[in-house]
Structure 1
């Protein structure tokens, strides 16, 4: 009996031709919720999560003799980011990295090598575009995804940042006395970010593009009122005590929904929201209606300086962002992702039940050999391989386009 030959074709996604088929495939990938789970609604735009990146690609996999039988997808984008700084901490080291996301394969077609082939084909494109590294991110409990990348595709576990989630309540949150919050121009925000994240990892070289994007709702700085008149932005100096962050409107990109909760949990959550709306002075920590599609605001670039007082300033900034979200119908949560040892982790308000301490990032070096020029540059900077080198900072900049 002749052995059956598996026919797997991987090609670039055609938005006009493939949109409906991909939407149907990803809907079929959603498993019935028997326990609390979070589903993502891309609102009819399969490439919405990579559309704002400088360079991106989406691939689809077809299986069998019949064309247009789409059984798998993967997305990828390429950007230039920092991987630390020189020993003197004067100049950041930039490198091209590829971010792989949105890998999905229909349940009935898994274990046939389709996921592996999608990753390999996307990596080929990344190499052609000059990416030196590729990385992916997933929940630390997603063993199937982690095993695919680490065991079959030669990725290694790299970083474990923390995802902080704060529900948006019906009531406003106080920003605190004696604190001034000002909105920065994109140009001033860019200047400050390039200074304070000089030594960090994953800070995007095109931060100016992010700050001027229509989804960026602004960059805000909190500082003591008494210090406001002493600070002149044109001087080039930063205040001695301040906090800064930017807000990204992910609500216009995708929606989330919580499924699989018990009737009792549902009733308690709805009841807390009703009480909070009726009696806001009680400041009940209510839960928004997360059982239907809701949007989120992403807080990016959180940074603070100035000792203990800076933590209070960061909390005030987060309260300010919360109140912005509260005025936006359909926005149910604020999300921030920070390095596991980043000092702002303890200052950003969040609910532990909704947050997760470790978001697993796995990375792979795509160019296994470097030319002489790269070797000399690496030797000068004291960095040979990003994956095996100890990080020069505890700070990881989370690009809001990647959420």
Structure 2
């Protein structure tokens, strides 16, 4: 559902209006191609994203979503674009009742301004109009996520629009190489039904932050490849006979197939880095018995699997989580064109240390900034969620990263 927004004229030749697929698709695709997006690998190269011919793909999976474009000048060139969506999420638990606190949250993403249209105020106008859409549709807060090195975006949101730096999740990336990873024979890995997955997630993430109320929609989405649980094999027979119970030790995660939505490509590496990456594949092909973890060809377009809902409990849980990630790697290895596994977790989340990753391909700190949209009058009328989320200490170190946001 995407409520219509009327076009609005501006004296400085910038007009912001809602995206029209038939009219704007070609121009927006060209704009996206001209803008390098994503994060950095080793602080040198960059990810370039191909949205697979669907500029709305990043927000289509949300009930409430919108995409705005900015026209500039008499020629009405598309100089910028921005996307937004609204969902209901947890912001921790109520100290008195112990029940989760829910707020209506807007996510602002995909802000792009053409290199030939920068410093014209287009980015500011897009953010302003999107915030107004968010307010009209009842959002209590808005947040955005970016790489810590993206200073122009950070300055725009924090200095001009008063967003505050809220948290620094860690993005962990593991390339998919040519060899299967062995799974410990003492560990059982089972696929869970959507219904059982929902009941587990509602339990283990009830007190986390950003856990979406519509988790059932995510689990049943066609991009979700399944939810898997690892446990010691000795618990398997008893666990199957006790429906609805959990084993004393387990790890769980879900796999989201982003390669059907967008693809990435690494650009900007040095000649030496490129040669080393190619050399690792050549050596692996010549001597496959060494089982070298060669770097896949990330210099052409590739897809990724996003791992979300990562949680572990009990004795030896870190080993169980590592085995689950290895299992996901083997799934990706069998999927042509999947070049990496990606997970994003809170810096103090216990699962962080258990997730296999390559440092050169990962970000130690992502940056999420947040802003309260509701007014004092709305708070007094009880028409918004808790007003101190931006300033309060988080009640949990766990952040649930919605795969639709990735």
Q: If the length of structure 2 is used for normalisation, what is the TM-score?
A: 0.93
2:370 to 363, 369, 393: 363
Structure 1 residue aligned with 2:403: 400
2:143 to 135, 142, 156: 135
Preserved CA contact (<8 Å) 1:82 1:92: yes
Question: In 2, Cα distance between the equivalents of 1:186 and 1:297?
Answer: 19
Question: In 2, Cα distance between the equivalents of 1:279 and 1:81?
Answer: 50
Structure 1 residue aligned with 2:276: 268
The question of 1:354 aligning with 2:389 is answered: no
Preserved CA contact (<8 Å) 1:35 1:259: no
Preserved CA contact (<8 Å) 1:50 1:77: yes
1:77 to 78, 85, 110: 85
Pair 210,277 (structure 1): closer, same or farther in 2 beyond 3 Å: farther
Give matches, 1:201-350, under 5 Å: 201-232=209-240, 235-307=243-315, 309-350=316-357
Q: If the length of structure 1 is used for normalisation, what is the TM-score?
A: 0.93
SS in 1 for 2:162: coil
Structure 2 residue aligned with 1:7: 13
Question: In 1, Cα distance between the equivalents of 2:161 and 2:242?
Answer: 49
SS in 1 for 2:401: coil
Pair 194,83 (structure 1): closer, same or farther in 2 beyond 3 Å: same
Question: In 2, Cα distance between the equivalents of 1:126 and 1:234?
Answer: 45
Question: In 1, Cα distance between the equivalents of 2:36 and 2:306?
Answer: 24
| Segment of structure 1 superposing worse, 73-82 or 36-45 | 36-45
- Mark the runs of 5 or more structure 1 residues left unpaired by the alignment: none
Structure 2 residue aligned with 1:158: 166
Give the drift of 1:274: 3.0
The question of 1:49 aligning with 2:69 is answered: no
Give the drift of 1:279: 3.4
Structure 2 residue aligned with 1:387: 390
1:39 to 43, 48, 72: 48
Pair 187,8 (structure 1): closer, same or farther in 2 beyond 3 Å: same
Pair 357,212 (structure 1): closer, same or farther in 2 beyond 3 Å: same
SS in 1 for 2:361: coil
Deviation sequence 1:284-332 (CA, Å, 0-9, x none)? 121100000000000000000004x000000000000000000001000
Question: In 1, Cα distance between the equivalents of 2:204 and 2:314?
Answer: 13
In the TM superposition, structure 1's runs of 4+ consecutive aligned residues that sit over 6 Å from their partners are none
The question of 1:18 aligning with 2:21 is answered: no
Give the drift of 1:108: 2.6
Instruction: Tell me how large the CA RMSD over aligned residues is.
Output: 2.0
Give the drift of 1:89: 6.6
